[in-house]
Amino acid sequence: MLFLIPKSLHRAMLPIAHRLRSLWWGWHKPRIRGVSILAFNAAGEVLLVRHSYGRDVWSFPGGGCGKNEKPLDAAKREFAEELHCSAENWQDLGVLKENLHGARVSSHIFRAELAGEPQPDKREIVEARCFPLDALPKGVSRRVRPRLEMLP
């Protein structure tokens, strides 16, 4: 249903929703399952994205995992929704236990190969670019390094 809202309005509402969600998580401290995707292009560069809400940092695409949703299905769904692109050769790298705004998060980490050119949805994701692993941009999220360390 959110696709019915104009992109500019949706993008303007996300920072408010993000702040409210952060406050709720800090108070309620729920257990959450999430996914992160380390997607690589043919040149071996990793895809990073910038969100329209929260801190202005580069991070990996991903999101929440529905109650009865398998983590791999959630990763593929999030990737397609946010980047209008698919990926192939998915590999499960494991699970990171993290704290996010007070929520206890089990982040399922996947590696995949890009199968197309990422096109940010301009709602949640405002920019998507591939970077060499040895030349990541300034302003990467503190969550990037632990995920990269999971690569074989």
The predicted pLDDT at position 10 comes to 61
DSSP label at residue 45: P
Q: What is the pLDDT of residues 107-151, one digit of tens each?
A: 999 999 999 999 998 888 999 999 999 999 999 999 999 999 999
Q: What are the residues whose beta carbons fall under 8 Å from the beta carbon of 96, sequence distance 6 or more?
A: 106, 107, 109, 146, 147, 150
Q: Reply yes or no on whether the pLDDT at 19 is more than 90.
A: no
User: Helical H runs in the chain?
Assistant: 7-28, 71-83, 144-148
Beta carbons within 10 angstroms of residue 27's beta carbon: 10
The range of the structural domain enclosing residue 144 comes to: 2-148
Angle (nearest 5°) at CA 24 between 19 and 6: 45
- Three-class SS of residue 66? coil
* Counted domains in the chain: 1
**CATH number of the domain to which 103 belongs:** 3.90.79.10
Q: Name the token pair of 100.
A: 């996010």
What pTM was computed for the model? 0.84
- Three-class SS of residue 76? helix
Please state, in angstroms and rounded to a whole number, the distance separating the CA atoms of residues 40 and 127: 16
Tokens 């990037």 locate to 144
Beta carbons within 10 angstroms of residue 148's beta carbon: 14
Q: Reply yes or no on whether the pLDDT at 1 is more than 60.
A: no
Please state, in angstroms and rounded to a whole number, the distance separating the CA atoms of residues 38 and 23: 28
Name the band, by pLDDT with cuts 50, 70 and 90, for residue 25.
low
Q: What is the pLDDT of residues 79-117, one digit of tens each?
A: 999 999 999 999 999 999 998 767 788 999 999 999 999
